[in-house]
Amino acid sequence: MSKVKEKYIGEPMKSLMKPNLNLYQKLLEVRKSVSYLKKEAQGYGYKYVKESQLFGAIKQEMDNQGIWLDMDMMKIESIEMTIQDKSKNLIKTNGVRVTFKFTLTSCDSPKDFIVKHQILQDAASDVKSIGGLQTYANKYFLLKFFNIPNDDLDPDKFEVSVEKAYVSKHIDANQIKTLIDLIDGDINLAKDLALKFGVKSPNEINTDEYDNIHTFLTLKRLQRDVGRKTNGK
């Protein structure tokens, strides 16, 4: 950026500029934006979250973060299935099994993408069932991928139930030792940990944070070791 442009942007405008997030960080922002969805639709004796309800909940943040979602049918197979009829008797019938591929891509950096696969089957083999499976696969992939709770409770009751169910626990001695070994007395790495996760000591880390912190420290150690080898050459 030229000094002239920087002068006119100024510090207030800089603070409003979009941060440079990787795809996982962007997806986390999407997940933060939807804490809960209530099952509002009803049919065939079930209550469920409608596809339009889910898309309405995540679309704005997906657009804000610049995340593109592609769904492809990779494989369609005709299969024989065993199901229960209304009298609970087991019967054999024709069905279809479909393999879907979901690709989440960062529009800011198309090389930054995540691929997931899902297999669904249904006791039918016509075109309509394929369309239904597409809708079902898309909806439930997103619900599970973003860990969006959905049940029959009202939002307020849901929040109360979460507060009662969630008890934060600190990691155990073995996990603490693992993280200390990863830090290995590296002051800069400890500073990076405090800056990213707000943690000054492994004793403060909760169990729900452990996996992310362990991955973070492992990657940082690899980057450091590769850098040392390169400089050594």
**pLDDT digits 0-9 by tens, 192-233:** 878 777 777 777 787 778 888 888 888 888 877 776 666 665
DSSP label of 17 = S
Mean pLDDT for the chain overall? 76
Per-residue confidence (pLDDT) for residue 159, from 0 to 100: 47
Chosen domain end from 165, 189, 214: 165
Together in a domain, 148 and 218:
no
155 within some domain = yes
Whose structure tokens read 């962007």? 26
What is the length of the chain?
Answer: 233
Per-residue confidence (pLDDT) for residue 166, from 0 to 100: 45
User: How many whole angstroms separate alpha carbon 45 and alpha carbon 58?
Assistant: 27
Domain range spanning residue 210? 173-227
Together in a domain, 146 and 223:
no
* Residue 179 burial (C-beta neighbours within 10 Å; 0-12, 13-18, 19+): buried
First to last CA, the chain: 34
Number of domains in the chain: 2
109 within some domain = yes
Together in a domain, 153 and 184:
no
Q: Are residues 99 and 72 in contact, defined by beta-carbon separation less than 8 angstroms?
A: no
16 within some domain = no
Chosen domain end from 118, 134, 165: 165
User: How many whole angstroms separate alpha carbon 212 and alpha carbon 224?
Assistant: 18
Helix (H, G, I), strand (E, B) or coil at 169: coil
Q: Are residues 133 and 70 in contact, defined by beta-carbon separation less than 8 angstroms?
A: no
Element (H, E) at 202: none
Q: What angle do CA 116, 58, 199 make, to 5 degrees?
A: 75
Per-residue confidence (pLDDT) for residue 39, from 0 to 100: 65
Helices (H), 111-186: 127-145, 155-165, 173-183
User: How many whole angstroms separate alpha carbon 54 and alpha carbon 61?
Assistant: 12
Q: Which residues of the chain have pLDDT under 50?
A: 1-17, 153-167
Per-residue confidence (pLDDT) for residue 71, from 0 to 100: 94
